[in-house]
Amino acid sequence: MASTFEVLAEPRRREILDLLRGGERQVGDLVDRLGLAQPTVSKHLKVLREAGLVQVRQDAQRRWYRLHAEPLAEVADWLAPYRWFWESRLDALERRLDAMPDEPIEGNP
Are the C-beta atoms of 49 and 56 separated by less than 8 Å?
Answer: yes
The pLDDT assigned to 109 comes to 56
pLDDT tens-digit profile of 72-101? 888 888 888 887 777 777 777 788 888 888
Domain assignments of the chain as residue spans, ordered by start? 4-67
66 pairs with which residues across the strands?
55
The pLDDT assigned to 80 comes to 85
Q: How many whole angstroms separate alpha carbon 66 and alpha carbon 73?
A: 17
Strands of 62-67's sheet in order across: 25-26, 62-67, 54-59
Q: Say how many C-beta atoms besides its own lie within 10 A of residue 71's C-beta.
A: 16
For 4-67, CATH number? 1.10.10.10
The pLDDT assigned to 12 comes to 96
- pTM value > 0.85: no
| DSSP characters over 7-76 | HHTSHHHHHHHHHHTTS-EEHHHHHHHHT--HHHHHHHHHHHHHTTSEEEEEETTEEEEEE--TTHHHHH
Would you place residue 108 in the very low, low, confident or very high pLDDT band (cuts 50, 70, 90)? Answer: low
pLDDT tens-digit profile of 6-20? 999 999 999 999 999
Q: Which residue has the higher pLDDT, 84 or 59?
A: 59
